[in-house]
């Protein structure tokens, strides 16, 4: 795990190595300072030796300057290494996600990927910086101080060893207990956030049912719960401070007492006693630092795991060697295709699919939810790989094509489609970055999007908000279709892409397809019979299998499912937008 | 003290920009307006609810500083009064020293106890203030008009709860006590220094000024870049969110390369500002620490010269003490400067918090209320118990007389004009009349204004001109909560809440019995699928009911409306592709729900439209045709076109 992450340090390797070294320099200089101070007092001030004060003073300023240089460089390097590391991580993750197949994305879920790229990376950046700057500094400073203390007086310094051991053990247990409680408390925070989220997005329901007071009551209860669990967890954590004070003060008292006796016994000088006392603070502060470091690291461990999981994921779809770059025509063949999203699940989503579609045909696909319509068409542009059998487009197995080339020539308008923030032109040019304005307009005309675009004040330069929130559902769908048309594909797949478009416009779009795009193979998934009944042939899906395949008239006669749906939609209970005049 | 929490809470699976201070803040926000005022306002919250504990905390800080100064002085006493004399006597008596150590131990104990007390109280103050901040914000948010939610990014609202309140936590729990501690220390040490020697104090102050200057320069830069970093972080997170959400589309369009380039650019911007922000923050510590050392040396040299030349009466022992004080004078200044960044961030957070808290709430000047009613001697009177009959209690403002009007569900629109903004009207001259129990259907293309009309009946938005009357009463006079209670709503997008299935149904009526819940579920055809769930009615729903199918969620929404049993219903039929079988079940339960109620329905289904008492055909915010199905077919207008599919231009 750490190897995966550390690989991303890349160009910041040297800075990352230099940081702890600079910190080491700073620490060494810092340890010198109390030593020099003692000298100023002992030999300078107390002895009244001005020359010594100046000499050591200059030495001390020099030491301070070197320490300053170390500190400054360490600070710069540390910042650069850690923020650079975060940048590389984000970039590596983002680029890696681009190679993910649909199956990979499904595995992590989009929300999961977003959290990993934002929150987790931030927490890693902080930990990394802490590691670089503190992991070396704190122990080094502690050891230096201990060494100095021992060199002054080994017997007295034993007190420090005992103190360090005592504090270390107690801190360890405190932190373990406390962080356990914290970890248990954090999900409560998530719950609270979820409830805010819920109330923000469903505010209409809350208001419609006049539930404001009840929701506030619920929220306050949850909020008070957090108050309780966090107060409890922090109760352990705050013991740190007093404990630290207790140890320091005990040390001071012990050293003073035994030190005084030793001075009397001429085993120690006054100046040395002062230095020993100065190191006391230093040693225990650094121990404290170290414990903080452990807390930080243990907390970001989960983040590290989650990030490296993404980085180590291999895409389930790989490009073949010597891929075919050109799709010859829009013919599609399914040979004994089985497919399941999860190879271990018992029942595949698609079973034994055999299909032959000629180039230029218009094929309607219908069936209830969960019957495998979307799964079927996802195999054509190789968004997923078949479990068994093969799918051929333009006479070749889809696995033989370059994936990008295949997807350029098999355009899919997804069921859950999105527009991106940017102008309409920019969105359209996702289909073809070189498309001219006229080509864009032409595509919009075919998709019947031109009429409403022309009504916008900025026309094609209208800015689409994130997720297309400023256009209606039907308008969004038409823009998505136009975007797909700009690819000039050999195969066009519409996955329920006109559900929010009114019947009249839907009919107009289909007419345009029929008349202006005769060469393109068109696959249309729809719930409304009217959207597909004029197709050349219609596939009826049922429970992962093809239940019927034929023209509208044939299916009406032979296929029970088709007939039932047709009757329900044209009889009294159909869709208002749907009825066609016969 | 050890703070075991990471700077910001990881937000788990929540949507929206996450991480420390990550937010959808798009516009540049380089400076905080009125930092002093914001600070005072935050403090007001602390003192309002926790005045006494906070004062005790401050008192503890005083005691702590006092105890630690006693500790510092002890070193001097130890050497001057005990050890040095010991060296002069051949058989030193250690009893006075033991007593002195005992005395200082008491001081230490006081220090430890006050430190603990301070921290212990601080937990309650911090967590309590946080709770109150959250609670107040939530309570306020629930009162905001729908318009606020329609015009503000939900991610931004969320981030106030997750990030901004957290930055305020740091301010209250760490920065302020730290500052108080530092100020107290600085003042007491300063007094001690002045007593010891004035010229050296001046020298120390000059060095402090230099330190402060450097610190404010670096901290200012650091703060500037931190704010910039937050902005860039928001942009990057926004980009990640948008693109990962649309990742499947990205793949289908082979847009990976372009996105990588774009991402790299944003990511690099973030790196530049983050690097600068952290660099400035990192170098602040070393600069101050070493300047402190320089100050120490300068004092030692100057003090040595003074003491040796005998001017200004400085003794050598005094100089030793002074140098100790010099050290303890620089330390707190150092600590304060370290807190500057958190303070800047906290104030930026506080600003956003108060912006949300100051947003204007939904006003309600309605005074007509909904009461239980029964008939006595042919007259309607108010009663306590639930009778199944309801009346509007209309207290006339002029003379205080009270009228009771039975709740029937008659709704009238009189020449209503409406626009989401005053400049652009969405609805024009809407006129409609619904008798109790009638079904009114709205049809028309997307954007014609169907949803908008339904938003007006329950006053999610207020109209610009005209009147809406409910049982003859202008809706503006009816208390909003009572108005909405009398209107049921089933929206196209079904939102469910975390809780059990029964809780979700009970959403419509808080005190509903288990039997009522089951009855409502049965009416909505939801009983069958609920029975099949692992824990039946006690099955927990999470994440907006993600474990249910779309159809099932819709059935629950219908049950939720059914249990409220409102006389008037607003329905927005789903266009979503639900398969025919589920659709039939939903339709059946919708029909049952509509039975006997005045219903406004945004219709997509033929049967709904056909059975309506009146169909309103909307186009560009106007009703262009109205009548029954048969009448409209005869008119051969827009409705006919829609119905027959022989639309425009075909």
Inside any domain, residue A580: no
Minimal Cα–Cα distance from A391 to chain B, Å? 18
| High-pLDDT (> 90) share of chain A, % | 0
Is the Cβ pair B11, A511 closer than 8 Å? Answer: no
Report the distance separating Cα B427 and Cα B423, nearest Å.
12
The CATH architecture annotation of domain B35-357 reads: Up-down Bundle (1.20)
Confidence at B25, pLDDT banded by 50, 70, 90: very low
For residue A579, what pLDDT is reported?
Answer: 39
What is d(CA B513, CA B511) in angstroms, rounded to the nearest whole number? Answer: 6
Per-residue pLDDT band at B648 (split at 50, 70, 90): very low
Q: Do both A289 and A387 map to the same domain? A: no
Using the predicted structure, report yes or no on whether residue B310 has a pLDDT greater than 60: yes
Distances (CA, A) of A211 to A216, B88, B133, B510, B568: 8, 84, 21, 9, 18
Interacting residues of A400 by C-beta distance below 8 A, sequence separation 6+? A320, A323, A324
Using a CB-CB cut-off of 8 Å, the residues of chain A touching B73 are none
β-bridge pairing B402-406 and B379-382: unpaired
For residue A455, is pLDDT > 70?
yes
Higher pLDDT among residues A239 and B645, named by residue: A239
A480 contacts A510 by C-beta, under 8 angstroms: no
Q: CA-CA distance, A222 to A191, in Å (whole number)?
A: 8
Domain boundary among A283, A312, A341: A312
Using CB atoms, pick whichever of B259, B303, B304 lies closest to residue A98: B259
Q: Which of B132, B236, B282 to mutate to test the interface with A (most CBs of A within 10 A)?
A: B282
Nearest CA-CA distance, residue A390 and chain B, Å: 20
Largest CA distance in chain A: 118
Where residue B629 falls (left for φ over 0; alpha for ψ -120 to 50; beta otherwise) is: alpha
For residue range B479-528, what is the model confidence (pLDDT) as tens digits?
A: 888 888 888 888 777 788 878 888 888 888 888 888 889 888 888 888 88
**Inter-chain contact A472–B447, Cβ cutoff 8 Å?**
yes
Nearest Cα to Cα of residue A81 among A130, A120, A117: A130
Question: DSSP assignment of B307-322, as one string?
Answer: HHHTGGG--HHHHHHH
Q: Which residues in chain A have their CB less than 8 angstroms from residue B154's CB?
A: 197, 200-201
Tell me the shortest Cα–Cα distance from A497 to chain B, in angstroms.
10
Q: Is A318 within a domain?
A: no
Cross-chain residue pair A572–B650, CB shorter than 8 Å: no
DSSP A97-158: HHT--HHHHHHH-HHHHHHIIIIIHHHHHHHHHHIIIIIHHHHHHHHHHHHHHHHH-HHHHH
pLDDT at A253: 86
pLDDT above 60 for B646? no
Separation in Å, CA of B109 to nearest CA in chain A: 8
Q: What is the pLDDT of residue B605?
A: 67
Both structure tokens of A572: 């009294």
Chain A positions touching B258 (Cβ under 8 A) are: 433
Nearest residue on chain A to B486, judged by CA atoms?
A209
Rounded to 5 degrees, φ, ψ at B404 are -115, 125
Integer-rounded Cα Rg, in Å, for chain A is: 36
C-alpha B542/C-alpha B388 separation (Å) is 34
Q: Which residues pair with B615 in a beta bridge?
A: B441, B627
**What pLDDT score was predicted for residue A541?**
82
Q: Specify the long-range contacts of residues B545-549, CB closer than 8 Å, at least 24 apart.
A: B545/B494, B545/B496, B545/B504, B548/B496, B549/A369, B549/B582
> Of A80, A237, A576, which has the smallest distance from its Cβ to B275's Cβ?
A80
| Residue B379 vs residues A84, A127, B382, B384, B403: alpha-carbon distances, Å | 79, 75, 10, 16, 11
Task: Quickly tell me which residue has 């305020």 as its tokens.
Answer: B168
With beta carbons under 8 A apart, name residues in chain B contacting A91: 263-264, 267
Asked if residue A208 belongs to a domain, the reply is yes
The region of weakest confidence among B135-149, B242-256, B334-348 is: B242-256
Say if CB A311 and CB A9 are below 8 A apart: no
**A70 lies in which domain range?**
2-312
| A141 and A231 together in one domain | yes
The position carrying tokens 């539930």 is A211
In this structure, the number of other CB atoms found within 10 A of the CB of residue A120 comes to 25
Q: What is B411-644's CATH topology?
A: Rossmann fold (3.40.50)
Which domain-ending residue is among A262, A283, A312?
A312
Whether residue A339 sits in one domain with residue A303? no
**Under 8 Å CB-to-CB from A150, ≥6 apart: which residues?**
A157
How confident is residue B19, by pLDDT bands cut at 50, 70 and 90? very low
* CB spacing of A274 vs B1 below 8 angstroms: no
Q: b vs e for A415-431, b when ≥16 Cβ sit within 10 Å of the residue's Cβ?
A: bebbbbbeebebbbbbb
pLDDT digits (tens, 9 = 90+) for B211-240: 888 877 887 787 788 878 878 887 887 787
Give the best residue of B3, B9, B10 to mutate against chain A (max A CB count within 10 A): B10
Quick one: average pLDDT of B161-189?
83
Nearest to B578 by CA among B549, B607, B619, B604: B549
Inter-axis angle of helices A270-312 and A50-98, nearest 10:
10
Kindly tell me if the per-residue pLDDT of A280 is higher than 60: yes
Averaged pLDDT for residues A434-455: 81
- Mind telling me how many Å the CA of B325 is from chain A's nearest CA? 13
Contact B240 A94 (CB under 8 A): yes
Question: What pLDDT, on a 0 to 100 scale, did the predictor assign at position A344?
Answer: 59
Does residue A508 fall inside a structural domain?
Answer: yes
**Residue A402 and residue A537 share a domain:** yes
CB A386 within 8 A of CB A338: yes
**What confidence score (pLDDT) does residue B575 get?**
54
Are A344 and A282 found together in one domain?
no
Do residues A448 and A302 share a domain?
A: no
pLDDT in tens, B398-422: 777 888 888 888 888 888 888 887 7
| Cross-strand partners of A277 | none
What is residue A45's predicted lDDT score, i.e. its pLDDT? Answer: 67
Residues A349 and A302 in one domain: no
Examine the fold and report which residue of A280, A312, A344 is the final residue of a domain before the chain moves on.
A312
pLDDT at B29: 44
Cα B492 off chain centre by:
26
Cα-flanking dihedrals φ and ψ of residue A467, to 5°?
75, 5
> CA–CA separation, A523 vs A377, rounded Å?
8
- Residue B508: what are its φ and ψ, rounded to 5°? -75, -25
What total number of domains does chain A contain? 2
- In terms of DSSP bridges, do strands B622-627 and B614-619 run parallel, antiparallel, or are they unpaired? antiparallel
User: B647 vs A367: CB contact, 8 Å cut-off?
Assistant: no
Residues in chain B with CB shorter than 8 Å from the CB of A129 are 278
Domain ranges in chain B are 35-357, 369-406, 411-644
In this prediction, residue B274 carries a pLDDT of 87
What pLDDT band is residue B32 in, cutting at 50, 70 and 90?
A: low
CA pair distance B625, A100, nearest whole angstrom: 52
Per-residue pLDDT, B3: 33
Residue B287 has pLDDT above 80, yes or no: yes
Mean pLDDT of B535-558: 78
- Does one domain contain both A286 and A337? no
Helix A560-570 with B580-594: angle, nearest 10 deg = 30
Chain segment B450-459, per-residue pLDDT in tens: 878 888 888 8
Highest mean pLDDT among A423-427, B15-19, B116-120, B532-536: B116-120
CATH number of A124's domain: 1.20.1560.10
For residue A421 the two structure tokens come to 């923030």
The residues pairing with B443 across neighbouring beta strands, listed in sequence order, are B617
A559 confidence band (pLDDT: 50, 70, 90): confident
Show residues of chain A in contact with B488, CB under 8 Å. Answer: 208
Out of B258, B267, B286, the one facing A26 most closely (by C-beta) is B286
Contact status, residue A531 vs residue A502, Cβ threshold 8 Å: no
Chosen from B100, B239, B297, B448 to mutate, greatest number of chain A CBs within 10 A: B297
Which region among A160-169, A337-346, B152-161 has the lowest average model confidence (pLDDT)? A337-346
A266-270, B3-7, B459-463, B489-493: least confidently modelled range: B3-7
Question: Residue B597 in contact with residue B558, Cβ under 8 Å?
Answer: no
For residues A109 and A174, membership in a common domain is answered with yes
Measure the CA angle with vertex A218, ends A216 and A224; round to 5°. 100
Contacts of B233 in chain A (CB under 8 A): 122
- Tokens at B122, concatenated: 């601080």
Residues found in chain A: 582
B584-643 pLDDT, tens digit per residue, is: 777 788 888 888 888 888 877 666 777 788 888 888 788 888 888 888 888 877 777 766
User: What are the E-state strand segments in A386-536?
Assistant: 388-393, 396-397, 410-413, 422-423, 463-464, 491-495, 521-525
The mean pLDDT value for B72-93 works out to 75
Whether residue A284 is found in the same domain as residue A239: yes
Compute chain B's Rg from CA coordinates: 36
Confidence category of residue B247, pLDDT binned at 50, 70, 90: confident
Name chain B contacts of A542, Cβ cutoff 8 Å: none
Residue A549 lies in a domain: yes
Over residues B361-368, the mean pLDDT reads 83
The whole-number average pLDDT for the span A553-578 is: 69
ipTM (interface pTM): 0.77
Using 50, 70 and 90 to split pLDDT, how confident is the model at A544? confident
Angle CA(B595)–CA(B601)–CA(B607) in degrees, nearest 5?
70
Sign of the alpha-carbon torsion through B445, B449, B450, B452: positive
Task: Among A161-165, A525-529, B26-30, B132-136, name the one with the lowest average pLDDT.
Answer: B26-30
Minimal Cβ distance to A508: which of B92, B286, B649: B649
Q: Do A264 and B86 touch (CB under 8 A)?
A: yes
**CA–CA min distance B378, chain A (Å):** 32
In angstroms, the separation between the Cα of residue B191 and the nearest Cα of chain A is 23
Cβ(B248)–Cβ(A105) under 8 Å? Answer: yes
pLDDT surpasses 60 at B59:
yes
| Contact by Cβ (8 Å): A376, A365 | yes
One DSSP character per residue, B444-455 reads -STTSSHHHHHH
**Residue B580: its pLDDT value, please?**
65
Q: What is the mean pLDDT of residues A264-287?
A: 77
Query: Do residue B79 and residue A270 have CB atoms under 8 angstroms apart?
Result: yes
User: Is A214 within 8 Å of B254 when comparing Cβ atoms?
Assistant: no
Q: What is the DSSP string of A507-547?
A: HHHHHHHHHH-TTSEEEEE-SSHHHHTTSSEEEEEETTEEE
Query: Cα A556–A537–A511 angle (5° rounding)?
Result: 105
Question: CB-side exposure of B199: number of CA atoms within 13 Å?
Answer: 15
Q: Smallest Cβ distance to A223: which of B131, B146, B264?
A: B131
Do B498 and A198 make contact, defined as CB atoms within 8 angstroms?
yes
Q: Across residues A469-492, what is the average pLDDT? A: 80
- Interface A:B, Cβ pairs < 8 A: 521
Q: For residue A575, what is the DSSP state?
A: B
Percent of chain B exceeding pLDDT 70 equals 89
Nearest-CA distance A358 → chain B (Å): 23
Give the percent of chain B with pLDDT over 90: 0
All residues of chain A having their beta carbon less than 8 Å from the beta carbon of residue B104 are 253
What CATH number has the domain bearing residue A399?
3.40.50.300
pLDDT tens digits, A374-421: 888 888 888 888 888 888 888 888 888 887 788 878 888 877 777 777
Locate B650 and state its tokens: 């075909």
């Amino acid at each position: 795990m750490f190897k995966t992450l550390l690989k991303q340090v890349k160009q910041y390797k040297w800075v990352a190595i230099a940081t702890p070294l600079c910190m080491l320099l700073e620490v060494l200089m810092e340890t010198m300072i109390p030593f020099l101070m003692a000298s100023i007092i002992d030999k300078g001030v107390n002895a009244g030796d001005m020359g010594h004060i100046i000499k050591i003073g200059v030495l001390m300023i020099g030491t301070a300057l070197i320490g300053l240089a170390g500190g400054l460089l360490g600070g710069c390097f540390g910042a650069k290494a850690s923020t650079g590391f975060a940048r590389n991580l984000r970039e590596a993750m983002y680029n890696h996600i681009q190679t993910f197949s649909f199956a990979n994305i499904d595995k992590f879920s989009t929300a999961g990927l977003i959290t990993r790229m934002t929150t987790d990376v931030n927490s890693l950046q902080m930990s990394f910086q802490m590691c670089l700057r503190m992991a070396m500094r704190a122990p080094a400073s502690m050891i230096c101080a201990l060494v100095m203390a021992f060199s002054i007086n080994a017997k007295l310094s034993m007190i420090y060893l005992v103190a360090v051991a005592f504090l270390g053990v107690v801190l360890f247990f405190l932190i373990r207990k406390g962080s356990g409680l914290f970890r248990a408390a954090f999900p409560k925070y998530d719950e609270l956030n979820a409830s805010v989220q819920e109330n923000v997005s469903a505010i209409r329901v809350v208001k419609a049912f006049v539930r404001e007071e009840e929701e506030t009551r619920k929220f306050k209860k949850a909020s008070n719960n957090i108050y309780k669990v966090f107060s409890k967890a922090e109760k352990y954590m705050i013991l740190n401070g007093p404990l630290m004070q207790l140890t320091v003060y005990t040390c001071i008292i012990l050293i003073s007492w035994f030190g005084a006796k030793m001075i009397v016994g001429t085993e120690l000088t006054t100046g040395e006693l002062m230095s020993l006392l100065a190191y006391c603070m230093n040693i225990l502060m650094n121990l404290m630092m170290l414990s903080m470091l452990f807390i930080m690291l243990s907390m970001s461990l989960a983040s590290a795991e989650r990030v490296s999981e993404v980085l180590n994921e291999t895409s389930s779809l790989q490009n073949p060697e010597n891929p075919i770059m050109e799709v010859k025509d829009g013919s599609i063949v399914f040979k004994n295709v089985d497919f399941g999203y999860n190879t271990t699940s018992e029942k595949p989503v698609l079973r034994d699919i055999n299909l032959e579609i000629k180039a230029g045909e218009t094929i309607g696909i219908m069936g209830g939810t969960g019957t495998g319509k979307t799964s079927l068409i996802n195999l054509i542009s190789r968004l997923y790989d078949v479990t068994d059998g093969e799918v051929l487009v333009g006479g070749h197995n889809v696995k033989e094509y370059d994936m990008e080339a295949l997807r350029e020539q098999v355009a899919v308008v997804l069921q859950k489609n999105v527009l991106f923030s940017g102008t309409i032109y920019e969105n359209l040019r996702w289909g073809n970055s070189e498309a001219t304005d006229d080509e864009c307009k032409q595509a919009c005309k075919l998709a019947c999007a031109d009429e409403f675009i022309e009504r916008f004040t900025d026309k094609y330069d209208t800015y689409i908000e994130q997720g297309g929130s400023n256009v209606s559902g039907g308008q969004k769908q038409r823009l998505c279709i136009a975007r797909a048309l700009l690819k000039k594909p050999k195969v066009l797949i519409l996955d329920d892409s006109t559900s929010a478009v009114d019947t009249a416009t839907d009919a107009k779009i289909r007419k345009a397809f029929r008349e202006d795009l005769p060469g393109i193979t068109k696959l249309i998934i729809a719930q409304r019979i009217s959207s597909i009944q004029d197709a050349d042939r219609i596939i009826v899906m049922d429970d992962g299998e093809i239940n019927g395949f034929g023209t509208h008239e044939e299916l009406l006669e032979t296929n029970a499912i088709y007939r039932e749906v047709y009757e329900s939609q044209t009889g009294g209970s159909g869709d208002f937008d749907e009825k066609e005049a016969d | 003290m050890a703070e075991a929490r990471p700077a910001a809470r990881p937000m788990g699976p929540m949507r929206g920009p996450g991480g420390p201070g990550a937010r959808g803040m798009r516009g540049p926000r380089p400076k905080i307006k009125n930092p002093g005022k914001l600070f005072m306002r935050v403090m007001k919250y602390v003192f309002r609810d926790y005045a006494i504990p906070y004062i005790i905390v401050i008192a503890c800080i005083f005691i702590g500083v006092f105890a630690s100064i006693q500790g510092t002085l002890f070193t001097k006493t130890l050497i001057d009064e005990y050890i040095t004399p010991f060296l002069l006597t051949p058989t030193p008596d250690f009893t006075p020293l033991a007593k002195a150590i005992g005395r200082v131990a008491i001081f230490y104990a006081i220090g430890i106890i006050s430190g603990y007390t301070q921290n212990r109280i601080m937990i309650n103050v911090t967590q309590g203030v946080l709770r109150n901040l959250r609670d107040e914000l939530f309570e306020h948010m629930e009162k905001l008009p729908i318009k606020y939610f329609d015009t503000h990014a939900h991610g931004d609202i969320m981030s106030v709860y997750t990030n901004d309140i957290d930055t305020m936590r740091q301010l209250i729990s760490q920065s302020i006590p730290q500052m108080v501690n530092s100020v107290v220390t600085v003042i007491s040490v300063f007094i001690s220094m002045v007593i010891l020697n004035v010229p050296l104090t001046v020298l120390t102050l000059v060095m402090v000024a230099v330190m402060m200057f450097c610190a404010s320069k670096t901290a200012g830069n650091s703060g500037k870049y931190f704010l910039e970093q937050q902005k860039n972080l928001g942009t990057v997170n926004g980009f990640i969110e948008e693109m990962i959400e649309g990742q499947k589309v990205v793949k289908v369009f082979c847009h990976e390369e372009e996105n990588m380039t774009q991402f790299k650019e944003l990511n690099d911007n973030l790196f530049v500002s983050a690097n600068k922000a952290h660099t400035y923050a990192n170098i602040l510590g070393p600069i101050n620490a070493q300047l402190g050392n320089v100050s120490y040396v300068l004092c030692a040299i100057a003090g040595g010269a003074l003491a040796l030349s005998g001017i200004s009466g400085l003794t050598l022992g005094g100089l030793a003490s002074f140098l100790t004080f010099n050290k303890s004078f620089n330390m707190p200044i150092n600590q304060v400067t370290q807190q500057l960044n958190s303070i800047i961030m906290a104030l930026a957070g506080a600003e956003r918090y108060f912006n949300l808290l100051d947003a204007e709430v939904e006003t309600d000047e309605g005074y007509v209320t909904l009461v239980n009613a029964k008939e006595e001697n042919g007259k309607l009177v108010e009663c306590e118990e639930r009778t199944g009959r309801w009346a509007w209690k209309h207290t006339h403002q002029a003379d205080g007389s009270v009228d009771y009007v039975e709740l029937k569900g008659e709704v009238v629109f009189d020449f209503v004009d409406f626009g989401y903004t005053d400049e652009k009207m969405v609805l024009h001259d809407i006129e409609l009349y619904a008798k109790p129990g009638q079904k009114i259907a709205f049809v028309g293309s997307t954007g014609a204004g169907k949803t908008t009309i339904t938003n007006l009946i329950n006053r999610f938005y207020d109209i610009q001109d005209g009147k809406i009357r409910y049982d003859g009463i202008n809706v503006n006079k009816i208390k909003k909560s009572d108005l909405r209670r009398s209107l049921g709503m089933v929206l196209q997008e079904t939102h469910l809440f975390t809780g059990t299935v029964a809780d979700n149904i009970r959403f419509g009526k808080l005190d509903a019995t288990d039997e009522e819940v089951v009855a409502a579920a049965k009416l909505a055809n939801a009983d069958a699928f609920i029975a099949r769930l692992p824990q039946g009615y006690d099955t927990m729903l999470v994440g907006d009911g993600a474990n249910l199918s779309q159809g099932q969620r819709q059935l629950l929404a219908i049950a939720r409306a059914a249990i409220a049993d409102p006389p008037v219903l607003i329905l927005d039929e789903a266009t979503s592709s639900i398969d025919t079988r589920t659709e039939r079940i939903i339709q059946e339960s919708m029909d049952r729900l509509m039975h006997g109620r005045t219903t406004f329905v945004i219709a997509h289904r033929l049967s709904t439209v056909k059975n309506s008492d009146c169909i309103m055909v909307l186009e560009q915010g106007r009703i262009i045709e109205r009548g029954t199905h048969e009448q409209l077919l005869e008119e051969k207008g827009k409705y006919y076109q829609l119905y027959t599919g022989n639309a425009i231009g075909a």
